[in-house]
Every structure is written in structure tokens, then in C-alpha cells.
Amino acid sequence: NLRRKAVVSTQSTGAEVESAFFSLISMIQLLSQVDQIEETSKKLSNAIVADTTSERLPLKSRLLSQQFNCYQPSLRSTYVLLVNVLKLVVETGQLRLVTLDINQISEWMTKWKCDVQEQRDVYRLLHEAFSAIQQGEKAIQALVRLLKLFSENEGVEAKSDAHICVISHIAHPKIFVMDHLLDLHPIRALDGQLSHELLQIFVDGDLNDYIEFYNNNVDFVEKLAVTHEENLRKMRLLTLASMAQDCNEIEFSQLGEKLNLAEEDLEPFVIEAIGSGLIKGKINEPEGKISISSTINRTFKDPQWLFIKNKLEMWQKNLVIIQESMRKGHFAVPIGGG
């Protein structure tokens, strides 16, 4: 009876179905017991999903989205509604009337007291849903959260997800720092496989390391969801970032040799690197070099922590000097010039 009311008949128009649907939702919300509301809303949601009529996909999407938005996120049954909405997004490649915020959904799952498997199911669906609507960065965020839910002993269970995660990071044109992936247990489970070796190169290797890997594993690279040319572009940018960490200036001749770029391609490449935020600096064209003011850290290990520690200690000493100067009514030059 509930399913008949939810789907109505094949002769009903979309407007008629939606009208009946809203009436049904209103009736459900008048139920006196919370558990009755939750159980009935789950049945209604599942009834909508059970309708496999392809022509009704847009209508199903509207109905599920409207139902999801009508219920309090605090209700445990909203988990079922969310799962069904995500499945429909994956199926249709469209997101209607619902905002998918990963942090908010994470908070909801805490309120719902979801177990680990339920959380995994949602994050995997979020990854698939964001991928279906071409929101690659959010898809990657959902996938990383999924992998964090696997312990050391369970890492091997998510090796396929880990492989997708690695390639997604490598393929994304705006992601350059990937060392955090190496701490995830499913990523560690890939150790000894080509995808893990390739990740290691993108974490701390250089262009020559990648070219050697490609020459030894052409078939593997050519089957990835990212082209060899795209990998070359990113590895050139990452190699420049590593070079910039060790010096304040880089000669164009040195850069061309290291990156295997012709002289006429160097300036556009450096402009791209600066525009991407990978390095900060300026081109000194008369002298044929780049002046570097800062660059990203491809890895964050003991040397980077020591640098921050030293910076904080210097700032602390400067504050003491400034406070003492203000107390005495005169000015002292801070350590390190500021």
C-alpha cells in the first residue's frame, strides 16, 4: 500500500506523483512515535528506489531529495535516505536540491552512531557520487576519509580503493602534496606494487625518476586514467619545487637541463609554476634566472618541523624584545629583522 502511494501509477503525471508524495510525507510526520516516523520514512525511501522505470529517474531524484530535506538530520532513518540519495546521484550523474557537505555528513554519522561499515559505505558512495557529477577534489576527499577507516590489519581489504586514491591524486592537476597518503594503511598494503612505487615518485622523486619508471612500465602507465604527458607536466612542476627548496636562485640553463625543456619553453613553464602557487618568485630575464622567495614542501618531516620550531622560537623572542622596548619607552630591532 505504501509503495503504491509512493509510486502511484504509471499513468500519473509527475505533478500528481509529487502532490501525493508531499501529502504522504505530511501524514508520516504526524505519527506520534519517533520510531514509527523513522520506520515509515525508510519504507517510503526504499519504495522510491525500488521503482526501476528509467523514465522516472528525474522524478525519483526530486522525490528522494525532497524527502531528505523534509526530515531532521538527527533522525537515525536519515542515514537510509542519504544512502538512497547518493545511489541515485551515482546512477543519474545529477545532484538535485541536496547539498553534499562531507564535514556535515561526518557530523551526522556521529549523531546517528553509525558503525564503521556504515561510514565506509557512505564515504564510498560519496566518492562515487562526486565523481559522477565531476567534482573530483571532493571525490578525493571522500576517498581519503574512507581509507582512514581501515586499520593496519584491514588495509588489504581496501587495496582497490587505495589504487584509485593514488591515481586520483596523481591525475588531479591542482594536487601536488601527497606524502600524507603514505600513512594510510590501505596505501601501505600496496607496497611492492607499481601504483605504490609511482606514488613514491610523486611524493619525493624527480622527473628522471618518473621517466625511468615509465620506460620500465609503459603498459601500466598507458592504462591509467591519466596520460603520460600529464604526468610529465606534474613531475616537472614537482621537480622545480624541490630545486627551489635548496636555493634562492635557479639559472635557466640549469632548469632546462633538469627538466628537459627547450629554452623557449622555460619562461611559460615558470609562469605556470608561479600561477599554480607551487613557487613564489619572479623571472630575472636579463640575467636568465629565477629568483625564489618560497615554495611548497612536498614532504613534511623532521626538517620541516625543526624549521617551524625555530621560526616560533624567533617570534617568541621578538615579542619579548618588543614588550620590553615598549615598557622602557624605546624601540629595539627584533631578531631576524621582524
The model's pLDDT over 99-122, given as tens digits with 9 standing for 90+, comes to: 889 999 999 999 999 999 999 999
Q: What is the dihedral of CA 156, 169, 149, 161, to 10 degrees?
A: -40
**Of 88, 9, 76, whose CA–CA distance to 46 is shortest?**
88
Contact 134, 118 (CB under 8 A): no
Q: How far apart are CA 136 and CA 226, in angstroms?
A: 13
Order across the sheet with 289-295: list the strands.
249-251, 289-295, 279-284
Rg, C-alpha atoms of the chain: 27
Q: Is 133 helix (H, G, I), strand (E, B) or coil?
A: coil
CB within 8 A of 27, min separation 6: which ones? none
H or E element that contains 67: helix 57-70
pLDDT tens digits, 220-235: 999 998 999 999 999 9
Q: Name residue 292's beta-bridge partners.
A: 281
Q: Kind and range of the H or E element at 321?
A: helix 302-328
pLDDT at 303 over 60: no
The C-alpha cell 601504483 sits at 195
Closest by CA position to 299, among listed 307, 291, 289, 288? 307
Phi/psi-derived region of residue 300, left when phi > 0, alpha when psi is between -120 and 50, beta in every other case: beta
Whether pLDDT at 7 is above 60 = no
State which H helix or E strand residue 24 sits in.
helix 14-29
Q: What is the mean pLDDT of the chain?
A: 83
- Partners of residue 280 on adjacent β-strands: 294
Separation of alpha carbons 190 and 132, rounded Å? 26
Q: Which residue has the higher pLDDT, 334 or 128?
A: 128
pLDDT category at 274 given cuts 50, 70, 90 is very high
Do 276 and 238 touch, CB atoms closer than 8 A? no
pLDDT computed for residue 9 by the predictor = 45
Distance, first Cα to last Cα, the chain = 74
Q: How confident is the model at residue 280 (pLDDT cuts 50, 70, 90)?
A: very high
Give yes or no for residue 305 having a pLDDT over 60.
no
Angle between helix 228-246 and helix 252-259 axes, rounded to 10 deg: 140
Mean pLDDT of 294-321: 70
Alpha-helical segments (H) within 227-301: 228-246, 252-259, 263-275
- Which cell numbers in the block locate residue 295? 615554495
Q: Are 139 and 130 in contact (CB under 8 A)?
A: yes
Q: Rounded to whole angstroms, how far apart are CA atoms 181 and 204?
A: 13
pLDDT in the model for residue 37: 62
Q: Tell me which amino acid residue 338 is.
A: G
Whether the CA torsion 279, 184, 142, 102 is positive or negative: it is: negative
Rounded Cα–Cα distance for residues 274 and 280 (Å):
6
The b-or-e profile of 67-104 (16+ CB within 10 A means b, else e) is bbeebeeebebbbbbbbbbbebbbbbeebeebebebee
- Given this model, what pLDDT does residue 182 score? 95
